[in-house]
Amino acid sequence: MNNLHKIVLAICLLFAVSNIQAQIKFGPVAGLNLSTMTIKVLGLNFDSETVVGFHAGVISEIPVNENFVLQPAVLYTTKGADYTVIGEEIALRPSFIEIPVNILYKYDVGPVKLFLKAGPFIAYGIGGQIESNGIEVDIDYGSGNADMKPFDFGLNFGAGVDFNNFLLSGQYGVGLANLTSIEAGNAEMKINVIGISLAYLFGN
C-alpha cells in the first residue's frame, strides 16, 4: 500500500509539474531607461540630469494563481547621470546585468489585462564609461577610491497592460545600494530609473 501511495504521489507531482510548465511563458523584452543619480558628499547634494539608456533581455511569466504571476527577467541595462562637482562636468554611463523578480496582479478589463507589479532586483556592473573634462575612460569596478562598486540592488514598482501576449509597462526602480567606494565625507551614490518596456511572451 505504501508503494501505491508513492506511485500515486509521483504521478500527481508529474502532472502538476507538466501543468506548470505548460503555463509558463517567456520571450524578449526591450525598452527605454530614464535614469538619475542621488549623489551626496559632506552632506551636500549634487543634482544630476536625466540620462537616456536602454534595457534588453528575456522575460518569463510563471502563474501563481488566477490573478497573480511571478515575472523574473535577465536584462542588459545601461544607466547613468550627468552632474557637476566643483565646476567639473562629469558624465557617468555604467552598464549592468540585472535580474528583476516582480510579482504581478492582473485583472481583466474587456479584451486586455491590466496589471500592477512590484518586486526586488539585483544587478552587477560589467562595463560603461565615465567622462570628465572631455576625457573618457572605462569604469573600474572594485573597492578602490576611484572605483565604482559593482553590486546594486533595489525595488521596482510599476503598472502595465497585457494584450494578446504583448506587454507594455512602465516602472520606477529605486536603487538602494551605495555605489561609491569613497568612504570619506559620508559619500553616497545611488541610481533611480524610470523604465518603459515592451515584451512579447510565447506560450498559451
At 37-47, the pLDDT tens digits run: 888 777 777 77
Q: Which residues pair with 16 in a beta bridge?
A: none
CB half-sphere exposure, 40, CA atoms < 13 A: 8
Q: What is the pTM of this model?
A: 0.84
Is a pLDDT exceeding 60 seen at residue 8?
no
Please, are residues 71 and 53 in contact by the beta-carbon 8 Å criterion?
A: no
Q: Which domains does the chain show, CATH number per domain?
A: 26-200 (2.40.160.20)
Residue 156's pLDDT is 97
At 52-111, the pLDDT tens digits run: 999 999 999 989 888 999 999 999 999 988 887 777 788 889 999 999 999 999 999 988
Burial of 162 (0-12, 13-18, 19+ CB in 10 A): buried
At 161-192, the pLDDT tens digits run: 999 999 999 999 999 998 887 776 678 889 99
Rounded to whole angstroms, the Cα distance separating 170 from 157 reads 9
Residue 18's pLDDT is 44
Rounded to whole angstroms, the Cα distance separating 19 from 28 reads 23
Residue found by looking up cell 537616456 in the block: 52
